[in-house]
Structure 1
Amino acid sequence: MLPSNLETAVLGVITTPVLHLADRHHVFAHLTAAGPARAEDIAQALRLDADTLERMLLLLTAHQILHRTPTGHYEVGPDVQPFLDPGDPHYIGGFLTHLVQETAPRTPALGAYLRHGKTAVDGPDARPFASLYRDEQSTRRFLTAMWDLSYAPSRELAALGDLTTSTHLIDVGGATGPFAVAALHHAPALEATVFDLPQVEPYLDETRKAHRLADRLHFTPGDFFTDELPEGDCIAFGYILSDWPDPTCAQLLRKAHRACRPHGHVLVMDRLFDDTRQGPLATSAMNLTMHLETQGRHRTAHEFTALLHDAGFTRCEVRESSGDKHLIVGYSD
């Protein structure tokens, strides 16, 4: 028998697509709404094949994602239910879709990267986000994944970010505004501007309407490589710097220092490697996806604070959350 950690790694290639399919066909939503049910009853309600569905449910039960009662009824485990319930802020369905439809097809490139290096394979003019924004469907899918990954942890990070004394947040590369929305809910006197590519604006408009933030959530189109950042007293980078190599991050943080008003601060929100770089697992996994999908990597807290100091932020603090995404704060004075 394989050791459990090796078994999980080997069989994950089967489990992740099954988890995605069950979510896509509303199995978890049905169980959340209707309660425990047998496979044949779920299949009838959702118009699915009962045999195929039960085999999928048995796999998810073995992974302790579902629980199967002695009477053959399946139910979602309480520890995972928030992440599989489309009505919960912790829902990860969009991220699962991104992993299966965008990340997984790229993994064969690792072989070429391993032999020749990423730059040699992709070429010097690679545009890592071009495929993610290639059409309306891909753009929406990517932005949905980013919201699903970011909104729930953003609510805790906003509370750690010294926002109650700030007046104007600039959310750099803020996409559909998961952090901006969390910040505005946390600090009622705050206004926020998302600075992102022009094609993101219609999707931010949807967020603004859905959260009734028309007078407080704004959008400025631009490219943070070629444009200066809008001015504010809090400049936020939510999972942006891990997309780019150190020289690019240094350039962006220098722009943030120029845009930051006196006595303001910058927020860097990201997954962190521990000092030994032996984990956490999620950071190590996403560090590899950064290699596939972007030009960046994940860093330790010390590496981030070094970049902030070099950009002119004189005092830096690391504030750990209860999750796997944390906050590094740099003060301009």
Structure 2
Amino acid sequence: METTSTTQVDPAKIMQVGTGFFATKTLLTAVNMGLFTLLGQGQHSGEDIKEKLGLHPRSLYDFLDALVALGFLNRTGIKKTSVYSNAADSDLFLDKNKPSYMGGILEMANNRLYPFWNNLEVGLKTGLPQNETKNNGKSPFDAIYADPARLREFIRAMTGVQMGNFIAFGKQFDFSNYKTLCDIGGSGGILSAQVVINNPHMECTTFDLPAVSPIAQENMDVMGLGEKVKVAAGDFFTDDFPKADVITMGNILHDWGTANKKMLIKKAYDALPKGGAFVVIENIIDAGRKKNAFGLLMSLNMLIETPEGYDFSISDFEELTKEVGFGQISIMPLTGPTSAALAIK
């Protein structure tokens, strides 16, 4: 008699993802309230936290202990005897008083993106952004660039998110055959800085809008790299790219539709010598579109945030770059879901 084994189907993944916003909002709220910054000063009792953050006693320990269970806090004691401290990653990356702080992107996620994602279904049915522009408001970038303080905060947040990838790129990429690099949309100049720190023979240019230049220059001067990294002002839509052996773009291409992607890639091609390298640092989606969930979700975020932007696979990158004349294509994993896609002229 033939027997068959049955596999128990488990709904745990469905529940974990379906209610994932519980954990997301708990973490974002803790960041927004400055909990990890408070605990960066030293451990505190639950009662201390309640008083300093102005919390109601009803759900105080549920909130704090959920963060313990999620791995963001450590705790000794329980409830009224509890004392809380930051986990190692929370302490390094979520304390505003540390230069490694990357909570700016989480603050933006809490204050802007979280409510916009409630309209994902509308975006999927209309193909239209669901952010401030939905009600004929200005793009959030207009407001950011008009306010120097907000611009500085935004650049610091974006830099924090990419710091690990820029360091990895500066260490892993083989610069032995190159002398110059230009980072298009270089923001605070940190990619260029990491390249010259790890490759002293390189000379780099960080290229971004005029409003960004003073911030980039300040960063380079503080790091003692003012003579190694040139800060250049311009608009990558209207200006030619500075000539260089390597052209990089970090989280630039995914903001734009196919036509603008091709235009920017063509400008990079024109700025490179034969044998030059075009490098795109993004959450490159795997060719089979099955593994890099974050890259695919980030592409949905581009639907929420932009008129035509989307993230792309390494196959898409190969098609776009070869169309303008690039030859050899490869990919270099960096940190987490992020990779450097490479095209050689």
Deviates more, 1:4-13 or 1:265-274: 4-13
Question: What code does the residue aligned with 2:76 have?
Answer: T
C-alpha separation between the residues in 2 aligned to 1:182 and 1:155? Answer: 6
DSSP 3-state at the match of 2:145: coil
C-alpha separation between the residues in 2 aligned to 1:132 and 1:278? Answer: 35
Q: Which of 16, 35, 39 does residue 24 from structure 2 map onto?
A: 16
Q: Deviations over 1:260-315 (max 9, x none)?
A: 12332111111122233123232222111111112321111121122222222221
1:93 aligns with 2:103: yes
Aligned to 2:76: 69
Structure 1 residues 136, 54: CA separation in 2 closer, same or farther (over 3 Å shift)? Answer: farther
Give 1:17-32 correspondences, 5 Å limit.
Answer: 17-32=25-40
Q: Which of 150, 167, 174 does residue 162 from structure 2 map onto?
A: 150
Q: TM-score, normalised by structure 1?
A: 0.86
1:104 aligns with 2:114: yes
Which runs of 5 or more residues in structure 2 are unaligned? Answer: 1-9
C-alpha separation between the residues in 2 aligned to 1:20 and 1:245? Answer: 30
C-alpha separation between the residues in 1 aligned to 2:140 and 2:118? Answer: 16
Contact preservation (8 Å) 2:76, 2:83: yes
DSSP 3-state at the match of 2:274: strand
- Aligned-pair RMSD on alpha carbons? 2.9
Question: What code does the residue aligned with 2:39 have?
Answer: L
Deviates more, 1:280-289 or 1:54-63: 54-63
Aligned to 2:221: 209
Q: Deviations over 1:185-230 (max 9, x none)?
A: 1111222211111111122123123322211222222111111111
1:240 aligns with 2:252: yes
C-alpha separation between the residues in 2 aligned to 1:198 and 1:30? Answer: 36
C-alpha separation between the residues in 2 aligned to 1:289 and 1:119? Answer: 9
C-alpha separation between the residues in 1 aligned to 2:94 and 2:236? Answer: 34
Aligned to 1:327: 340
Structure 1 residues 262, 280: CA separation in 2 closer, same or farther (over 3 Å shift)? Answer: closer
Give 1:164-313 correspondences, 5 Å limit.
Answer: 164-294=176-306, 295-313=308-326
DSSP 3-state at the match of 1:299: coil
DSSP 3-state at the match of 1:254: helix
DSSP 3-state at the match of 2:248: strand
Deviates more, 1:260-269 or 1:65-74: 65-74
C-alpha separation between the residues in 1 aligned to 2:114 and 2:229? Answer: 34
C-alpha separation between the residues in 1 aligned to 2:160 and 2:95? Answer: 11
C-alpha separation between the residues in 2 aligned to 1:219 and 1:56? Answer: 45
C-alpha separation between the residues in 1 aligned to 2:129 and 2:55? Answer: 46
Highest Rg: 1 or 2? Answer: 2
Q: TM-score, normalised by structure 2?
A: 0.83
Structure 1 residues 142, 53: CA separation in 2 closer, same or farther (over 3 Å shift)? Answer: farther
Structure 1 residues 311, 88: CA separation in 2 closer, same or farther (over 3 Å shift)? Answer: farther
Q: Which of 297, 318, 330 does residue 317 from structure 1 map onto?
A: 330
DSSP 3-state at the match of 2:280: strand
Structure 1 residues 258, 155: CA separation in 2 closer, same or farther (over 3 Å shift)? Answer: same
Aligned to 2:7: none
Q: Percent identity at matched positions?
A: 27
Contact preservation (8 Å) 2:75, 2:84: yes
Structure 1 residues 141, 7: CA separation in 2 closer, same or farther (over 3 Å shift)? Answer: farther
C-alpha separation between the residues in 1 aligned to 2:277 and 2:192? Answer: 15
Give the number of equivalent residue pairs.
327
Question: What code does the residue aligned with 2:103 have?
Answer: G
1:81 positional shift = 4.2
Question: What code does the residue aligned with 1:257 have?
Answer: Y
Contact preservation (8 Å) 2:285, 2:314: yes
1:233 positional shift = 0.8
Which runs of 5 or more residues in structure 1 are unaligned? Answer: none
1:93 positional shift = 0.5
DSSP 3-state at the match of 1:192: strand
Contact preservation (8 Å) 2:129, 2:305: no
1:89 positional shift = 6.5
Contact preservation (8 Å) 1:175, 1:200: yes
C-alpha separation between the residues in 1 aligned to 2:230 and 2:216? Answer: 9
1:183 positional shift = 1.1
Contact preservation (8 Å) 1:242, 1:299: yes
C-alpha separation between the residues in 2 aligned to 1:203 and 1:4? Answer: 47
1:4 positional shift = 4.2
C-alpha separation between the residues in 2 aligned to 1:263 and 1:89? Answer: 37
